[in-house]
A and B are shown apart, each in its own frame.
Chain A
Amino acid sequence: MTLQYFLILAAALFCIGIYGLVTSRNAIRVLMSIELLLNAVNINLMAFSNYLDPSGIKGQVFTVFVITIAAAEAAVGLAIVLSIYRNRDTVDMEQFNLLKW
């Protein structure tokens, strides 16, 4: 059990999240991919906190902050998706071209 295992696992989760963020066409799946990205960062912070700073655990404090911001982001993101769905009557990311030109 070393630090590298956790970091590589977090890197894999981050790459899966980026793939989902770019390729998915449902807006709610994009929000779920963002949650995956934030959780990968959290795993990194917790691993650093346990292996590099085990007595003054500042990584866990940062993880709690990131969890807070993620909860707020999920609430606002879902409200935006609901509002767009009500205006455009779809959740397809390819048809959200309001700001394109």
Chain B
Amino acid sequence: MNLADGVQIVSFGVLALMMLGAALGVVLLENIVYSAFLLGGVFISIAGLYILLNAGFVAAAQVLIYVGAVNVLILFGIMLVNKRQNFVPLRNAWVGKTTTALVCLGLFALLGAMVLSTPWAISTAPVAGDTSTVVIGLHFFSDFLLPFELASVLLLMALIGAIVLARREFLPDALEREQTQQPVLTLPERPRELASATPSSPDRTLGTSSTKRNV
């Protein structure tokens, strides 16, 4: 079942170096496209670590969901928010960064001390290994049935919520030109409220036709 110990340690070292280097690149690089691709490297390294931990099914799920879905989604997000802008430099930005780095190092030292000083109850039961998929399926449909169903409901809610949040509502050009005095508290990209405020029919037909053309 297990690989030899030397091979395991060498693979762990290589995967850990890849993961930490790529994670530092994600956080520290200036170009965000490089960050997104390095994030894929982090996910693949973590999938390798899962294989070292005798969990092939979760490693496959990690590659499929994270590299295949989440990373591609983030790349599409970068593409849609493609604005080459230089952020306005803040005064005393280094104070915040230095403080954060110190806090993170302190947290790492605390966690490391806790991990090394705790007497872990290492179990010697037989490893599930290749039968882990069957065991996970049994857990899903016996004692984790309610969280499983709740997760499906939450996925549906996230799907509908993402569509509602990201749906674009176009502002027709003709409507924008003739609406000279715009109400102060109205967002400029909501044509429905403007149409309801001025219920004359030509505006509405013009708006819907140009909306169709834009879609």
Using a CB–CB cutoff of 8 Å, the interface residues on chain A facing chain B are 1, 3-9, 11-20, 22-29, 31-33, 35-36, 39, 42-43, 46-47, 49-58, 60-61, 63-65, 67-76, 78-83, 85-87, 89-92, 94
Which residue in A9, A57, A70 is a CB contact (below 8 Å) of B128? A57
| B75 CB → nearest A CB, Å | 10
B78 at interface, CB cutoff 8 A: yes
* Secondary structure class of chain A's binding surface, majority of residues: helix
Size range of the chain B interface in the assembly: 35 or more
- Hey, which chain A residues are within 8 Å of B12, CB to CB? 1, 5
What total count of A-B pairs have CB within 8 Å? 236
Using a CB–CB cutoff of 8 Å, the interface residues on chain B facing chain A are 5, 8-9, 12, 16, 19-20, 23-24, 26-27, 32, 35-36, 39, 42-43, 46, 49-50, 52-55, 57-58, 61-62, 65-66, 69-70, 73-74, 76-78, 80-81, 83, 85, 87-88, 90, 96-97, 100-101, 103-105, 107-108, 111-112, 115-116, 120-123, 125-128, 132, 135-136, 139-140, 144, 147, 151, 154-155, 157-159, 161-163, 165-166, 168, 187, 189
- Hey, which chain A residues are within 8 Å of B168, CB to CB? 86
19 more A-B contacts (CB under 8 A) besides A29-B35, A71-B65?
A4-B116, A8-B111, A19-B101, A20-B27, A23-B100, A24-B27, A29-B27, A35-B39, A43-B49, A47-B53, A50-B127, A55-B127, A56-B128, A61-B140, A67-B58, A68-B65, A71-B70, A74-B73, A78-B166
| B31 CB → nearest A CB, Å | 10
- Hey, which chain B residues are within 8 Å of A51, CB to CB? 120, 122-123
A-B complex: 4 closest residue pairs judged by Cβ atoms: A72-B158, A20-B27, A79-B165, A11-B111
- With the chains together, A35 CA to B66 CA distance in Å? 9
- Hey, which chain B residues are within 8 Å of A54, CB to CB? 54, 123, 125-128
- Hey, which chain A residues are within 8 Å of B16, CB to CB? 5, 9
